[in-house]
Amino acid sequence: MDQLTDEVISFLQQNETNFLNKWKEKAMLPPDLTQLQREKLDSTGKFIFQVALHALSLPKADLQSYLQANAYKIAQIQIRENSDIEILVYNLNMAKNILCEKASYFSKEMQTLKKVFKHLSYIFDHFSYHAVMHYSRLKQQLIEQENRHIHSSHEDRLTLLGQMTSSFVHEFRNPLTTVQGFVQLLRAEYPDLPYMDIISSELDQLKFRITQFLMLSKKQEANQEEVIFSLNELVEQVASFVYPRLLELKVSLQREIEDSLYLKGIQEEIRQVIINIIFNAIEVMVTTDAESVILIKGYRDGDSIYLEASNTGPKIPDTLIKDIFEPFVTTKKTGTGLGLYVSRQIIEKHHGQLLCSSNDEWTTFTIILPAPLQKE
């Protein structure tokens, strides 16, 4: 450190109070500042002043590590006070201007102080850079920590729900199986008995809902094998299964499916996804006065099989569509928000994707699954 710099530092130290008063007068402050925050602002101004003067005295070899260490400290303060980074950058720049102005009073010969001004600018520019860098990293860490906490809480809720429902659903399934058995006996002994098809269909739908809860609890039996099956035949089975509901609510089901489409996976699980999407479409369309239409398209594109299920129900708001596959998110008044979540889990388990798009005319759920290498 040369004599001129030493003398400027001594001069600035004598004017510390004057600097702090002017800095507080011109500094940008967060809105609704409390008395405690004002006191902390005073200490921040003093911290900046002391860092700048000490940095002036350091050799170039030690300067960067010193600025980085103190930039990290001031970034921590900003994060802790929940203060925006642009306020810090503005206040650092203001501190530089005030220090340069104060230093100009040391000598009337500006050329004499040119080196000091240049050094101060270098110090504050690098101090601001490191402060912004550390602030951004700390903020990102904070966001990631909050996201992990939210995800953990989410998983805890699902685990608790799974534990609660698994026991209940298993107990409920036993008498349901008994009822289905007696329905089959009645149909065999009295083939002309009325309403048996309706009873059987409703029991199948109830079993389907139970399966959803079992999958959510992650305790469903894992004895199902992957097979190669016809998507065309599966859609036909689903159409027959949902037909009574379509007829009851006057919903038109239209199909445009290419011939000979095959998938590899657990057929019952894919069937569950398609039924769930169609049931959701039926339930949302009954709330509108427009014509109720479900259009199912199936086609192959490259190495992928696409199945699109579109409905003429109301548009899903843009604010909701990005979270539509999250658990407990639903557009239905009586919905649980679990059906689409379970459906996505199934499709992703089959190495596929489940997507959603919505406009004023159609809401479309698209299933994308890898095509099997061979049919047999």
For residue range 196-242, what is the model confidence (pLDDT) as tens digits? 878 877 787 777 667 666 655 554 444 467 889 999 999 998 998 88
User: What integer pLDDT is reported at residue 216 of this predicted model?
Assistant: 52
Domain edge (last residue) among 131, 149, 167: 149
Q: Are residues 131 and 110 in the same domain?
A: yes
User: What integer pLDDT is reported at residue 219 of this predicted model?
Assistant: 44
Q: Does any domain span residue 124? A: yes
Q: Is the pLDDT of residue 290 over 80?
A: no
Domain edge (last residue) among 123, 149, 175: 149
The DSSP code sequence of 252-320 is: EEEEEE-SS-EEEE-HHHHHHHHHHHHHHHHHHHTTSSS--EEEEEEEEETTEEEEEEEE-SPPPPHHH
Q: Is the pLDDT of residue 30 over 90?
A: no
Q: Does any domain span residue 376? A: no
Q: Are residues 211 and 234 in the same domain?
A: no
User: What integer pLDDT is reported at residue 220 of this predicted model?
Assistant: 47
The structural domain count of the chain equals 3
Give the CA diameter of the chain.
Answer: 115
Average pLDDT score over residue span 109-127: 79
Average pLDDT score over residue span 285-290: 76
Q: Running DSSP on this structure, what letter comes out for residue 225?
A: P
User: What integer pLDDT is reported at residue 311 of this predicted model?
Assistant: 92
Q: What pTM was computed for the model?
A: 0.48
Q: Are residues 143 and 166 in the same domain?
A: no
* Higher local confidence (pLDDT), 36 or 267: 267
Q: Is the pLDDT of residue 147 over 70?
A: yes
Q: Are residues 254 and 208 in the same domain?
A: no
pLDDT band at 272 (very low <50, low <70, confident <90, very high): confident
Average pLDDT score over residue span 291-309: 93
Average pLDDT score over residue span 106-129: 78
Q: Are residues 326 and 280 in the same domain?
A: yes
User: What integer pLDDT is reported at residue 141 of this predicted model?
Assistant: 83
Q: Does any domain span residue 221? A: no
Q: Are residues 206 and 254 in the same domain?
A: no
Average pLDDT score over residue span 101-106: 81
Domain of 8, CATH number, reads 1.10.490.70
Q: Are residues 142 and 165 in the same domain?
A: no
Q: Are residues 251 and 356 in the same domain?
A: yes
Domain edge (last residue) among 169, 194, 216: 216
User: What integer pLDDT is reported at residue 21 of this predicted model?
Assistant: 86
Q: Does any domain span residue 243? A: yes
Q: 363: domain range?
A: 227-370
Q: Does any domain span residue 375? A: no
For residue range 166-182, what is the model confidence (pLDDT) as tens digits? 666 666 766 877 887 88
- Tokens found for residue 300: 């192959």
Around Cβ 221, how many Cβ atoms within 10 Å?
Answer: 6
Domain of 356, CATH number, reads 3.30.565.10
Residues 6+ apart with CB under 8 A from 304: 368, 369, 370, 371
Q: Does any domain span residue 266? A: yes
Q: Are residues 125 and 30 in the same domain?
A: yes
Q: Is the pLDDT of residue 165 over 70?
A: no
- Range with lowest mean pLDDT among 61-70, 73-82, 124-133: 73-82
* Higher local confidence (pLDDT), 142 or 338: 142
| Strand duo 252-257 + 293-301: pairing | parallel
For residue range 45-59, what is the model confidence (pLDDT) as tens digits? 888 888 988 888 888
Q: Are residues 115 and 241 in the same domain?
A: no
Q: Are residues 209 and 286 in the same domain?
A: no
Q: Does any domain span residue 51? A: yes
